[in-house]
Structure 1
Amino acid sequence: MGDLSSVTVGVLGSYGGRNVGDEAILTAMLDRIRAGRPDAHIVVFSRNPDQSRSTYPGVEVVGWEGVCRERISEHLRRLNLLVLGGGGILYNTEARRYLRLVRTAQDLGVPVFTYAIGAGPLTDESDCAWVRATLADAAEVTVRDEESKLVLEEAGLTRPISVTADPALLLEPGDSGEELLRAEAVPRGGHLVGMSVREPGRAAEHLDEEGYHQLLGNVADFLVHRLDGHIVFVPMERDDIRHAHGVVSHMTHAERCQVLHGIYRPQQVLDIVKQLDLAIGMRLHFLIFAALAGIPLLPLPYAGKVFDFAQQIGAPALRGVVREAAGPLLAEVDRLWDERPARVAHTATRTAAMKSRAAETADRLLAYLDQAAPRPLAYQVEPAAAFRTG
């Protein structure tokens, strides 16, 4: 059979940067598009094309950073739709880079669908102007949380904005976690406590590096004593490794820690998190993985997106916790462990609702594609086929 592709979908986001959270978003998104439209040809616009080609075989990958408008237009004009997102890419100085490519697509007549995007901090007027000019003309605007909707509204966007949920909530786990931890020489016998840290930067402007390293070092020592625990630092970006060692440097019981150094796909990281007994973290997608794995978790909000996630799953919303004294945080960790059966059950209910909202984003996208580019007959299912069981 020849090439039956009837629709070409471009995907633009912070892909190819070795950020596990961003790649989890893309992995889940591609799975949904392929399941709903097997005829789709997918073009991923990547920051690191070689890495993305090795990670996503069967997908066309195009580099876009440092590429002139004329060259990128050759790829854009082939598209039936450009998907912008998901993930937090609309923030100061960065938003305009993505939205220039979006505007080029729109100038070529290509519709744009924003896919559970994250926004903020977004106060620079140039970036706000790009948001108003491009997203006003988008086919649909969906964001992953209420905070992002508020940020876009404050930037001056007046069109309807739908709040769904982070696409990574639809990531499916495997069963590789035990083997991966064994390869990293993580001991078994006590309780495994996962921790996630991150660097200060534009997304964490108020984070005091030395202060939070010392604070989390105190928390880690407490968990070693309280749970006979072994601390496993799970990097979601490569630079997280350096900050994990910064925390370890403040610990009395550094020998009871392990910083993972392997390069893992999102599903593998989810499998590792499934092996943990408790999760305490800053990175949003580490916390999402903990919720999917059904383990007790404590978010450490450094930004609105983590605070919003904590509220949605019913976890303590400790805004500003990275600047707190150790006492209140240790008390909350202690309470989380004592109440873990009830906390896990409550989180599971909230997580199921969030997964349904995440699926809504994919349903909206597929419905738009079906309207703009109907499926070929080879991929249409007879009405009765849905009811066959044998």
Structure 2
Amino acid sequence: MGDGSEVTVGVLGSYGGRNVGDEAILTAMLDRVRAARPDVGVTVFSRNPDHTRAAHPDVGVVGWEGVSRERIAEHLRRLDVLVLGGGGILYNTEARRYLRLARAAQNFGVPVFTYAVGAGPLTDEVDCDWVRTTLAGAAEVTVRDEESKLVLEEAGLERPITVTADPALLLRPGDGGEELLRAEAVPRGVRLVGISVREPGRAAEHLDEGGYHQLLAHVGDFLVNRLDAHVVFIPMERDDIRHAHAVASHLADPGACTVLRGASTPQQVLDIVKRLDLAIGMRLHFLIFAALAGVPLLPLPYAGKVFDFAQRIGAPALRGVVRENVGLLLSEVDRLWDERPARLAEMAARTASMRQQADLTAERFLAYLEQIAPPPVLLPTTPAPVSPVG
């Protein structure tokens, strides 16, 4: 085994506290795998080791950004398998960074298991080459949606690819949302509508910053006037706060909204989402949390992964609406509110199905792990002889 005494699994993804969705993936993955295989030792390759150690004190943590190849090699050599993913890490200019470590592991004879990974946009030929040459030799390739499978195939990957679902679907909400909202001074006794925004960037190449700020402000005004609601902006990573304030600045009544700042762990955010009456959002994991919490949701697809989720959850797939059509968006918000009971029943069934698909990733990984490192056999203990009395 990796250190001579236990199975050692490495986990490589965008972990380290920069994004609540990525942390939700890691939390769900660790909980599921270690519940089935308590004999497994885990080493997380983190972009912020201090954050990961604080969030997961019972796993090993290795920083990998700005670290020499020799030091990383020491940790890779000890692994029995490297889990790549999950989450959207295979996109232009970023894919090569993760795959470089995966390739190094393979060079040391360590198998790589691709765990419900997300891909796209992926058009850069350098990154496509890394995908083709590295994942061709992976033990298994699982992706979280059909869009990611198509992206990898168009990059030239010629091998079986299994579509499962996002690992974060295995999280369950708790009961801490009321207290968290009170700490943020969110009004009590009113309808709450959560809105999720995100920044433009490499993962959202077609997002028009100024345009979508104004569009979401129109949505916020509509919710305040139509539902007498209070709008709660829920950031999924730090830069979301700035964009939420930009939207809030365009509202007719900025006092009718709150931009959250305190919640940071996946469980905290999920518990807050559970307290909402409606969810409208761009961030994929905000929408996943709404589905898990049984909250009516309207996705605003800025990328293929959100469009794919909208289709799978049975929500309107409004591709392009975040750029151009205020009237269509407001009519969908109105329809969503009026059709809540029917929408929720269908969403619950689809969410249950997606949870099963998310669990399939873990089942396939555990089956592979059993092949290369079967769990220890616990021998029955012989009771100690009882000494005669007297």
TM-score band, normalised by shorter chain = over 0.9
Distance 2:4 2:266 in 1: 30
1:59 aligns with 2:49: no
Distance across 2 between alignment mates of 1:85 and 1:224: 39
Secondary structure at the counterpart of residue 88 of structure 2: strand
Q: Does the 8 Å CA contact 1:196/1:233 hold for their aligned counterparts? A: yes
Residue 238 to residue 228, structure 1, CA distance change in 2 (3 Å) = same
Range 266-275 or range 4-13, more displaced: 4-13
Q: Which residue number corresponds to residue 204 of structure 2?
A: 204
Write out aligned runs for 1:318-337 (5 A): 318-337=318-337
Which residue does the alignment assign to 2:261? 261
- Deviation track 1:23-63 (CA, whole Å, cap 9, x = no partner) reads 00000000011101000000000000011101111110000
Computed over aligned residues only, the root mean square deviation of the Cα atoms, in angstroms, reads 1.3
Match of 1:35 in 2: 35
Structure 1 residues 379 and 260 mapped into 2: Cα distance closer, same or farther (>3 Å)?
farther
Q: Is the Cα–Cα contact under 8 Å of residues 263 and 269 in structure 2 kept in the other structure?
A: no
Offset at residue 69 of structure 1 (A): 1.7
Distance in 2, matches of 1:68 and 1:156, equals 30
Q: Deviations over 1:143-185 (max 9, x none)?
A: 0000000000000000000000000000122111111001111
Within 2, Cα distance between the matches of 1:173 and 1:75?
35
Separation of aligned partners in 1, 2:207 and 2:123: 19
2:68 corresponds in structure 1 to 68
Equivalent residue number for residue 124 of structure 1:
124
- Counterpart of 1:158 in structure 2 is 158
Which of the pair has more CA radius of gyration? 2
Instruction: Give 5+ residue unaligned stretches, structure 1.
Output: 381-390
- Residues 304 and 6 of structure 1, relative CA distance in 2, 3 Å threshold: same
Q: CA deviation at 1:376?
A: 1.0
> Given that residues 296 and 344 in structure 2 are in contact (C-alpha distance below 8 angstroms), is that contact kept between their aligned partners in structure 1?
yes
Q: Map 1:264-275; keep pairs closer than 5 Å.
A: 264-275=264-275
- Do the aligned residues in 2 keep the contact of 1:25 with 1:87 (CA within 8 Å)? yes
**Does 1:309 pair with 2:291?**
no
Residue 105, structure 1, aligned to residue 101, structure 2 = no
**What is the aligned residue count?**
378
Alignment of structure 1 residues 60-99 onto 2, 5 Å: 60-99=60-99
In the TM superposition, residue 66 of structure 1 has moved relative to its aligned partner by 1.6
Tell me, which stretches of 5 or more residues in structure 2 are unaligned? Answer: 381-390
Q: Give 3-state SS (helix, strand or coil) of 1:258's partner.
A: strand
**How many angstroms does 1:277 deviate by?**
0.3
Is the partner of 1:121 in helix, strand or coil?
Answer: coil
Deviation sequence 1:174-222 (CA, Å, 0-9, x none): 1111110011110112210000000000111111111100000010010
Instruction: Report SS of the residue matched to 1:378.
Output: coil
Query: How many Å separate the matches in 1 of 2:146 and 2:177?
Result: 33
CA deviations 1:246-294 (Å, max 9, x no partner) are 1011110111100001142101100000000000000000000000000
Query: What corresponds to 1:215 in structure 2?
Result: 215
- CA drift of 1:17 comes to 3.9
| CA distance 1:271–1:301, shift in 2 (3 Å) | same
**Contact residue 39 and residue 379 of structure 1 kept, 8 A:** no
Partner of 1:136: 136
Q: Which residue of 2 aligns with 1:249?
A: 249
Does structure 2 retain, via aligned residues, the 8 Å contact 1:6–1:376? no
1:4/1:39 contact within 8 Å kept: no
In the alignment, which residue of structure 1 is the partner of 2:237?
A: 237
Distance 1:250 1:209 in 2: 13
Q: CA deviation at 1:5?
A: 5.5
User: 1:73-106 CA distances to partner (integer Å, 9 max, x unpaired)?
Assistant: 1001111100000000000000000000000000
Distance 2:300 2:379 in 1: 46
Cα offset, 1:325, TM superposition: 2.7
Give 3-state SS (helix, strand or coil) of 2:378's partner. Answer: helix
